[in-house]
Structure 1
Amino acid sequence: MVLIPLALAQFICSFAGSNMNVMINDISADLHTSVQGVQVTITIFLLIMAAFMIPGGTLTERYGRKRCFRTGLVVYGAGAVLSAVSPGLGALILGNSILEGIGTAMLIPPVYILATVLFPEVTARARAFGVIMAMGGVGAAAGPLIGGLITSVFSWRAAFVFQALVIALIILLSRRITDPIPPDRTRAFDIGGVVLSAAGLILLVTGILMADNSIALALGLIVLGALVLLWFFRSASAKEKAGGEPLLAPSVFRVRLANLGLATQNIQWLLLMGTSFTVAAYLQVVRGYNAIETGVIFTAATLGLLVSSLAAERLAKRRAQKTLITVGFVLAIAGIGVLLAMVSDTSGPWAFTPGLLMIGVGLGVMLTPSVNVVQSSFGEEEQGEISGLSRCVSNLGSSLGTAIAGTILVAAPGPGSYTAAMATLAAIGLIGLGAAVFLPAQQ
C-alpha cells in the first residue's frame, strides 16, 4: 500500500515530461506559438525539477518525508489545473514548467528515501525500486501514447486534467504512508547553496538552448553556468570544513561507485527524453502524423521498458548490477542504430518498431540497478541528500536530452537534422557505456 502512491507519483511526474511531445502541433496552433515554444516549455519543466531536486531532498530531513511529499502533490496539482486553462504560452510555462516542476522537486526525493529506508534488504529494495522505476519509465515512454489518445479524443488541455485527477488520487492514497524517520527541525537549510546550484544549472541548460541563436552567447552562458557551479562546490566545501551543513556535502562525490552510478543515471534519462522528443517531433513535423498516431508508434518503446523494468527483481538475483547497466546501454545504442537504418522518408510506421523496442528494453534493464547503485552507497542518515542529488542528476539528464535534441532540430531544419540529433544521442550513450564498464563487477 505504500508502494502504490509512491509509484503513481513517479509515473505522473515522468508522464508530464514526455506527454507534451505529441501535442506539439495542437499546442502550437491553440496558443499561437511555435515548435520551439513548446520545446522551451518542456525543457524549463525538466530544468526546474533538476535545479530544485537537491533542495527538495534536504527539506525532507527538516520537515519530514510525508509532509514534503503531500505538499509537492498539492503544488503540482495546482500547476496542472492552471496548465489546463492557460490562455497563452506564458500561463502554460507558469503552470506546467514552474509549478509542476517545483512540485515534482518536492515530492520525488521522499519517494526514493521512503523506498530506501522501508526496504533495507538488497533484493527487496530492488523490487521496490523496480516497481517505482517501472512506473516512471512507463510514464515517460507511455506519455506519448496516453497523451496522444487524450488529445485526439478530447484536447491537449484534457491531458492536464488527467494529471490533476491522478494527483488527487495519490493524495488520498498517501494518507496510509508512515514516515519511519522523525523530522529534525534543527537541520540547517543552505539558502545560498540553493541559489548558486539553481543558477548554475539554469545557465548551463539555457546556454545549450541558445546555441541555435548565437554560438557566442551559448558558450558564454555555458561557461558562466560552469563557473557558478564551481563557486557552489567551493562554498559547500568551505562550509563542510568549518563544521556547517551545506546544501550538498562535497564528500558524497568521494564515493567512486556512486559517481559512476550517477553518470549512468544522467545519460539514461538523457537518452530516454532526447529520443522521445526527437522521434515525436519527426513524426508530427515531417510525417504529419497526429497525436494518437504518434503515441501508438511509441507503444513498442513502452512495452519494452515496462517488461524489462518489472523484471528488475528477478534480474537483480541473477546478474550483477554492472552487467545489467552495461547490457542496457548496448541495447539502447543498438536500438538507435536500428532506428536510423530502417527509417526512411518512404518507410511505413512499422519501421520504427524494432528500434524503439530495443531502446525501451535497454533503458528498462538499467534504470533500476543504476538507482540501486547510488542509493545503496550511503547510509540512512545521508538518504535525503543523496536522493535529492540522484533525482537532480536524472532530471538534469532529461532536460539536457530535450535541450540538445531540440537545439539540433531548430538549428538545421530538415530531415537530416533528425538523423544528426539521434546520432548525437547515440554518441552520448557511448559515454554512459564507458561509465558502466568501470563499475565494480561484484553484485
Structure 2
Amino acid sequence: MAMPSSPISAGRPGPPRSSARRILAPLALAQFVCSFAGSNMNVMITDISKDLHTTVQGVQIAITSFLLVMAALMIPGGKLTDRHGRKRCLVAGLVVYGAGALLCAAAPGLGVLILGYSILEGIGTALLIPPVYILTTLLFTDVTSRARAFGAVMALGGIGAAAGPLIGGLITSLLGWRAAFVFQALVVVVIIVLSRRVEDPLPPDPGRDFDTGGAVLSAAGLVLLVMGILATDDNGWLAAGLLLAGVLVLAWFLRRSRVRERTGYEPLLSLSLFRNRTSNLGLVTQHIQWLILMGVSFTVAAYLQVVRHYDAVRTGVVFTAATLGLLASSLGAERFARRREQRTLVMAGFAVTVCGIGVLVAMAEDASSAWAFTPGLLLIGLGLGVMLTPSVNVVQSSFGEGRQGEISGLSRSVSNLGSSVGTAVAGTILVADPAFGAYATAMIVLGVIGLGGLGTAALLPRGKGVTAPAEN
C-alpha cells in the first residue's frame, strides 16, 4: 500500500558545520565519481578505440549506454531505498560500481568494456545516487543549510563532469586509459570508508511493495527512447519506430501505475508526484541543464580530438575554464540562496550558459589557439554552477520525507536522461560530419534548448525557499 508523506521541516537548522563536513564528504565524493565516469571517457575516445580495435562510434555507444542505464534504473533504485535503507543501497551501489571499474581496467575488447562501464557502473550509479540526494534532503532540513549541502554535492558533481576530461586526460597520458578506471575504484574504496560516519535517519521498510513490472516497463521505455535518438543518423525509419515504441511503452507504464494507485497498490512511480507544478518545472530545468552539460562536453571533446587532433591532456586542459567557473558558482550556492530567489538563480544560470555557447561558437570558428575556447567555457561553467543547486533544491524540497525515495529516483532519472539525450544528440550531429560546421550546429542546437530552459525557469514560483506541503 502507498505510504503517506510527511512534510520536511524548513525551520529546524541543519547539523553543525564540523558534523556536516563528515556527512557530506562521502555523499559529495559519490556524486563526483559518477559524474567523472560520465565525462572522462570523452577524452579517451581515441585511445580506447585504437587499443580495443573499435571505432569512435563504438566508444560513443558505450558512453551513451552508461548514461542510459543510469536513467533507466534510477527510479527503481530510488524506490529500493525505502525497502532496504538508504545507506545500505549506497554501499551496495559503490561495491557494484567498483567491480565494474576494475573490469573495465582489464577489458580485452569493447564488449567487456560495455559490460563493466555501461552495465555495472551504470547499475551501481543507479543504486548509489538516489541515497545521496535523499540523505542530503533528510539530514539538512532548512533552506540555507540544504542549499549549502546541495551546493557541495553539485560542486563536486560538476567538477567530476567538467574536470573529468582534464583528470582523465592526465591519467591517460601518464599511465594509460585503463588507469583512469583504477582511479575510480580507489575513490570508491575511500567513499566506502568515509560512509561509515553517515547514519540513515529513517528505518528501512522490508515489507514495502516493489512494483517489478513497472520497473521493467519504465526501463524498457527509456531504453527504446534513447536508442531511437541514437539511430537517427543511420536509419530514419528505424529511429522513428524506436521512438514510437518508447513512447508507447512509457504510456503503458504510466497507465499501469495509475491503475495500481487506484486499486490500492503502491506503484513504482506515483503519478501524484506530477501534480506538483513547482516540482515539474524544476525537473524540466534539471533535464535541460544536464543535457547541455554533457552535450557541450561531448561536442567540444570530440571536435578537439577528431578535427583538431588534440591529445587527451590538451583536450582536458581546454575544459579547465568550465571546471573553474562551475566550481566557483557552485560553492557560492549558500550565499546565493540567502540573497536571491531560486527562480532568479535558475534563470540567470540559463542566460549566462546560453551566452557562453554563443561566445564559444563565435570565437572558435577561425581560431588556431585553444585559448579561444576559454571565455565561452568559463561562462558555461559559471551558468551551470549557478543553477544546478537551486533546481535540485526546488524539486527535493517540494515533497516530504515519505516521498523522498520516489522523487529522488525520478529527479536523477530525468537528469541522467538529459545527459544521455545530450550526448546522443551531439554525437549524432558530429558523426554525420565531424567538421566545424557540424560542431557549430550541435552547439547552436544546445543553445536553443538552453533558451527553452530559460523560459521554463521563468515559470517557477517566486520565493527563496520551497517547503514541502503538509500533504503531497
| 1:408 matched to 2:432 | no
| 1:252 matched to 2:273 | yes
1:170-224, Cα deviation, whole Å (9 max, x unpaired):
1111111111100001110000000000000000000000011101110110011
- Superposition CA RMSD, Å: 0.7
Amino acid at match of 1:142: A
Aligned to 1:152: 173
Aligned to 1:108: 129
SS of the counterpart of 1:211?
Answer: coil
Choose from 186, 211, 216 the match for 1:190.
211
Corresponding residue pairs, total:
443
Choose from 195, 206, 218 the match for 2:239.
218
Gaps of 5+ in 2: 1-21, 465-472
Aligned to 2:193: 172
In structure 2, what is the Cα distance between the partners aligned to 1:312 and 1:175?
27
| 1:12 matched to 2:12 | no
In structure 1, what is the Cα distance between the partners aligned to 2:366 and 2:221?
41
| 1:375 matched to 2:396 | yes
1:145-194, Cα deviation, whole Å (9 max, x unpaired):
00000001110000000000000111111111111100001110000000
SS of the counterpart of 2:350?
Answer: helix
| Mean Cα deviation higher: 292-301 or 346-355 | 346-355
The equivalences for 1:265-276 within 5 A come to 265-276=286-297
1:258-294, Cα deviation, whole Å (9 max, x unpaired):
0000000000000000000000000101111100000
Aligned to 1:317: 338
Aligned to 1:359: 380
Gaps of 5+ in 1: none
Aligned to 2:303: 282
The alignment's TM-score, normalised by the length of structure 1, stands at 0.99
Amino acid at match of 1:180: P
The alignment's TM-score, normalised by the length of structure 2, stands at 0.93
Aligned to 1:397: 418
Q: CA deviation at 1:347?
A: 2.7
Amino acid at match of 1:218: A
In structure 2, what is the Cα distance between the partners aligned to 1:172 and 1:80?
18
Amino acid at match of 1:418: Y
SS of the counterpart of 1:120?
Answer: coil
Choose from 152, 155, 172 the match for 1:134.
155
Question: CA contact under 8 A between 2:353 and 2:383: conserved in structure 1?
Answer: yes
SS of the counterpart of 2:204?
Answer: coil
Aligned to 2:261: 240
The equivalences for 1:333-348 within 5 A come to 333-348=354-369
Aligned to 1:424: 445
SS of the counterpart of 2:232?
Answer: helix
| 1:29 matched to 2:15 | no
SS of the counterpart of 2:231?
Answer: helix
In structure 1, what is the Cα distance between the partners aligned to 2:250 and 2:179?
39
Q: CA deviation at 1:345?
A: 4.2
| 1:60 matched to 2:73 | no
Question: CA contact under 8 A between 2:365 and 2:436: conserved in structure 1?
Answer: no
Q: CA deviation at 1:430?
A: 1.2
Aligned to 2:93: 72
In structure 2, what is the Cα distance between the partners aligned to 1:223 and 1:337?
33
Question: CA contact under 8 A between 2:354 and 2:450: conserved in structure 1?
Answer: yes
SS of the counterpart of 1:179?
Answer: coil
Aligned to 2:113: 92
In structure 1, what is the Cα distance between the partners aligned to 2:452 and 2:224?
23
In structure 2, what is the Cα distance between the partners aligned to 1:380 and 1:59?
15
Amino acid at match of 1:163: Q
Choose from 69, 72, 76 the match for 1:51.
72
Amino acid at match of 2:235: S
In structure 2, what is the Cα distance between the partners aligned to 1:146 and 1:422?
24
In structure 2, what is the Cα distance between the partners aligned to 1:287 and 1:106?
38
Question: CA contact under 8 A between 2:227 and 2:242: conserved in structure 1?
Answer: yes
Aligned to 2:145: 124
In structure 1, what is the Cα distance between the partners aligned to 2:428 and 2:229?
7
Question: CA contact under 8 A between 2:91 and 2:128: conserved in structure 1?
Answer: yes
Pick the structure with more helix per residue: 1
* Percentage of matched positions with identical amino acids: 70
In structure 1, what is the Cα distance between the partners aligned to 2:58 and 2:366?
26
In structure 2, what is the Cα distance between the partners aligned to 1:224 and 1:430?
29
In structure 1, what is the Cα distance between the partners aligned to 2:95 and 2:366?
45
